[in-house]
Amino acid sequence: MIKRIEKTKIMHRVVVNNGTAYLGGIIADDVSVGMGGQVTQICGKLDQVLAMAGSDKTKLLSAQLFITDMSLKNEMNDAWLAWLDGNDLPARATIGVADLGAPEIKIEVVVTAAV
């Protein structure tokens, strides 16, 4: 059975099927801060959305991090690792993109997790 959680105008925040939660892209609420601040906000939102799906960050399977400036990758990694236990890291890809809809948006994160 497919379970859809928190509908927005264009998507659901999370779709759960067969024990797996698929989260839509998440950006920071306050995009006036730097990369580290945006990642920290996103990680807090991930905690909330994963909980809605009956999961948590220890059950992450994969992550795709879309960033607009690869020179900020170390700052992104520092904030990411501050959130995650080094033993429960997901498979991950960091993808450089030209634009995420507004120049202030530095990162968008998409994750998949076990439920």
Domain residue ranges of the chain, discontinuous segments joined by +? 25-109
Stretches in the chain below the pLDDT threshold 70: none
The answer for residues whose C-beta is within 8 angstroms of residue 79's C-beta and 6 or more apart is 35, 36, 37, 39, 40, 43
Is 55 in contact with 88 (CB distance < 8 Å)?
no
Quote the pLDDT of residue 85.
86
Quote the pLDDT of residue 54.
97
Quote the pLDDT of residue 12.
96
Give the predicted TM-score (pTM) of the model.
Answer: 0.95
Nearest alpha carbon to residue 90 among 81, 103, 99 = 81
- Give first-to-last CA distance, the chain, whole Å: 13
Average per-residue pLDDT in the chain?
Answer: 97
Give the class (CATH, top level) of 25-109.
alpha beta
